[in-house]
Amino acid sequence: MKKLYLALGLALLGALVVYSYSTSTNNHLEQARKQALASGKPLAKATFAGGCFWCMEPPFEQLDGVVEVKSGYTGGFKKNPTYEEVSAGHTGHAEAVEILYDPTKISYAELLDVFWRNIDPTVKDRQFCDVGKQYRSAIFYHDQEQKRLAEESKQKLSQRFKNIYTEIVPATTFYPAEEYHQDFYKKNPVRYKSYRYGCGRDARLRELWDQAKP
């Protein structure tokens, strides 16, 4: 019984932490949107696939200069795919995030650094506990400059990891995921934390990035 209460307490604490973090993130993004609209500056897009899109939203949404992060599907052949179709692995699409950002405040190179630090580039067609091409890691570039920077960052990373399976491919149509998937970590913090922990994502990221040779 004590173990049960402890588990429930930890889950509640985790939910409160995520709630507090998500509230702060919401305020940050709303402020960024207002500033972007007021300035009239052109915004840029970045598209990354790093396994479960629930887990790829938080690290980007907290960045200054990021205006919006959407979960969705891209890189495949099926038009207007559903989550069920993508997760079944028959559409060619990967779960991905599309990031709208102000390039005068944050660079694409900085976004790439955040991307790499939140994936496992050493595995093919999977990320953590999720297996299949729909969970592959990929950088979908929107222009030749993004392609150049992505290839340079991958080459630099090859000094750290022997095998890197992350694709660098042209961006294609991005299909936003169903609304219940958007900001899932804010809407369902307990389930999100449980999934992330159970999938071993953070443990593997610590192993990759804290213990790997510089």
Q: Among 52, 55, 129, 199, which one carries the catalytic annotation? A: 52
Active site residue 52: yes
Could you give phi then psi for residue 80, rounded to 5 degrees? 50, 55
Catalytic residues: 52
